[in-house]
Amino acid sequence: MPTSLANIKNKLDERIGEKLMVIAQAGRKKTTERHGILRETYPAVFVVDLDQDENSFERVSYSYTDILTKNIEVDFDE
């Protein structure tokens, strides 16, 4: 992944509307996987519309610093 917040935002801007999987740290040795579609990017956060079959809520937002600090990992479906 890119090494600056601006690079991360630019990479995500290019992939709006694509399916992705977000792997988030949920505590010690625990991770959560969420599947959805990258919907919007803002100056400090990006929004993912989640698959309703797997999740009880519709949208989630993450900060670009979450990617930079490796609190989350974003994988796009190819």
Per-residue model confidence as pLDDT tens digits over 25-36:
988 889 999 999
pLDDT of 1 higher than 90:
no
User: Could you tell me what percent of the chain has a pLDDT over 90?
Assistant: 73
Domain count of the chain?
1
* 69: containing domain: 5-76
pTM summary value: 0.86
* DSSP conformation class of 65: H
Instruction: Tell me the CATH number at 14.
Output: 2.30.30.100
Q: What is the DSSP string of 5-49?
A: HHHHHHHHHTTTT-EEEEEEEEETTEEEEEEEEEEEE-SSEEEEE
How large is the average pLDDT for residues 50-74? 89
Taking the C-alpha atoms of residue 3 and residue 57, their distance in angstroms, rounded to an integer, is: 31
